[in-house]
Amino acid sequence: MAQDQTYWNPVIETLPREKLRALQLKKFKRIFAWTYEHSRFHRALYAQAGVRPEDIRSFEDIRAVPKVEKSMMRDIQRKDPFPYGDALCVPLEEVTEFRQTSGTTGQPVYQPDTWQDWEWWAECWACILWAQGYRPSDRVFLPFGYNIFVAFWAAHYAAEKLGCEVVPGGVLDTKARILKIQELRATAMMATPTYVLGMADTARKMGIDPSSLTIRRITCAGEPGAGIPSTKKRMQDAWGAKVFDHAGATEIGAWSFECSEQPFGMHVNEGMFLVEIEDIDTGEIIEGPGRRGKMVITAFDRQAQPCVRFDSKDVIEWDPEPCSCGRTFRLIKGGVVGRADDITKVKGVLLAPSAIEEVVRSIEGLGDEYEVIVDKIGDSDRITLKIELLPDARGKQRAVEAALVDQLRLKTNLRYDLQFHDYGQLPRYEVKAKRFKDLRKDH
């Protein structure tokens, strides 16, 4: 029966690498030609670089195609054809979906999609959910706002496509969502890691052990967390469920997924996307495993506002090992390990904020919430870490602090000013957290 099958697409997901690469090249040429033909913005960019569709014959040729950054999209939008501007590749009347980015890095970027693009979004997510074990027998609870951000919209349609029963938990508050999960015996849900942990906390305050609920599968997206081992463990322990990571973006699509083997990494959906990894300093393409770089990504089938060699700023590296799931889609080791614009130098040491989270959430006795503040005292950097001591760890603060100092030094090579707070004193975030604050003007 279809639902006994391991793969959503058993042919493409297990295609030998050389055939997959040939498919990718063919599809890149197709989307590049489409974009060149239909987007005034992109054609001007390509004309300036002297690159035409007929020039693309190999992966090396692809590197000559200029990259697009988010800031470039901001600059061309809010103009005719309103509000998308010159990157719109279809008549305005074919746009059926409007979404926008969250605006955390600047003015939001608008994203138009045709109905075909929306189907494509659901198709990308269908591959993800099937790989994570979702099946028609699942009752999937979606506790998100169903609003102007793409968030889990496409996941909703994908779950329907798979034949799952979908429960939209949009308007309900957290307590009502927990009660609804309990009432309906939902078997799966999707949320940001911050919200997954927040829901668990709320459930416990309601006198409900979240691991006693029927949730067995949780897909996380929207922020790092499910790819950070200690955060994943906290979520899995709290809910008694398997937690899976996914990375996607409004401007890109749903490009990666952790499969049911949970390989400490994520597959790139290489049938739908071309991922290139670029050295952050030199711009050289990193072909092999073992070196981190910045992701440049192309979505092969998105038409209204194509994503062709988009500089995502996500930092990733290829995993040297194939996955035991049997997919030939490559793994990125540890998932998205940070963002090129988040990784910063503190006291001369390169620091990825995710490394701090990994340490904090690996220490017993510390709460889930934390805050990092980087500022300057005179000319010297200072990094302050605020953490919460769990109520049952009172009296053990010295031991907890010793473990924390030790691990922070090992994992980040830095010394921190530590501030312990009582449980519940630090800010709580509803959906996405902003825990790392860099107050230095010249960082």
Partner 1 sequence: MVDEAQFRKMAEMITEMRTTAEGLHAMADTFPAVKRNTSRMLASLKMLSINVCDLDDLARTE
Half-sphere exposure of 212 (CA within 13 A, CB side): 9
| Contact map string, positions 122 to 141, toward partner 1, x by CB under 8 A | -x------------------
Rg (CA), the chain: 22
Contacts (Cβ under 8 Å, ≥6 apart) of 136 = 3, 162, 163, 164
| Contact map string, positions 286 to 315, toward partner 1, x by CB under 8 A | ---------------x--------------
Among 19, 233, 394, 428, binds partner 1 (CB under 8 A): 19
CB of 158 to partner 1, least distance (A): 11
Whole-number Cα distances in Å, 426 to 11, 109, 210, 398: 49, 31, 22, 20
CB of 78 to partner 1, least distance (A): 28
The reply on whether position 57 binds partner 1 by CB under 8 A is no
Write phi, then psi, for 218 (nearest 5 degrees): -130, 125
| Secondary structure of residue 69 in the 3-state scheme | coil
CB of 31 to partner 1, least distance (A): 12
Q: 265 near 335, Cβ under 8 Å? A: yes
Among 15, 109, 359, 360, binds partner 1 (CB under 8 A): 15
Sequential DSSP letters for 247-308: EEETTTEEEEE--TT--SEEEE-TTTEEEEEE-TTT--B--SSS--EEEEEEETT--SS--S
The reply on whether position 27 binds partner 1 by CB under 8 A is yes
The alpha carbon torsion through 354, 355, 360, 364 (nearest 10 deg) reads 120
Strand 366-377, strand 436-438: pairing: parallel
Between residues 123 and 245, which has the closer beta carbon with respect to partner 1? 123
Sign for the CA dihedral angle at 210, 137, 273, 249 comes to negative
Among 10, 106, 283, 326, binds partner 1 (CB under 8 A): 10
Q: 39 near 6, Cβ under 8 Å? A: no
CB of 115 to partner 1, least distance (A): 5
Between residues 9 and 100, which has the closer beta carbon with respect to partner 1? 9
CB of 20 to partner 1, least distance (A): 9
**Buried/exposed code over 176-202 (b: 16+ C-beta within 10 A; e: otherwise):** ebbeebbeeebbbbbbbbbbbbbbbbb
Total of chain residues touching partner 1, rule CB under 8 A = 20
Q: 236 near 242, Cβ under 8 Å? A: yes
Q: How far apart are CA 421 and CA 370, in angstroms?
A: 10
| Contact map string, positions 362 to 401, toward partner 1, x by CB under 8 A | ----------------------------------------
The residue range among 22-30, 207-215, 280-288, 348-356 that interacts with partner 1, by the rule CB under 8 A, is 22-30
CB of 325 to partner 1, least distance (A): 15
Site for partner 1 in 256-275 (CB under 8 A): 271-272
The residue range among 66-74, 115-123, 253-261, 428-436 that interacts with partner 1, by the rule CB under 8 A, is 115-123
Tell which residue, 440, 438, 72, 436, has the closest CA to residue 223.
436
Tell which residue, 292, 300, 303, has the closest CA to residue 355.
292
CB of 161 to partner 1, least distance (A): 9
Between residues 126 and 189, which has the closer beta carbon with respect to partner 1? 126
Between residues 28 and 310, which has the closer beta carbon with respect to partner 1? 28
The residue range among 59-67, 70-78, 110-118, 340-348 that interacts with partner 1, by the rule CB under 8 A, is 110-118
Among 120, 257, 310, 370, binds partner 1 (CB under 8 A): 120
Tokens encoding 441: 């003007």
Q: Which residues bind partner 1 (CB under 8 A)?
A: 9-12, 15, 19, 22-23, 26-27, 114-116, 118-120, 123, 271-272, 301
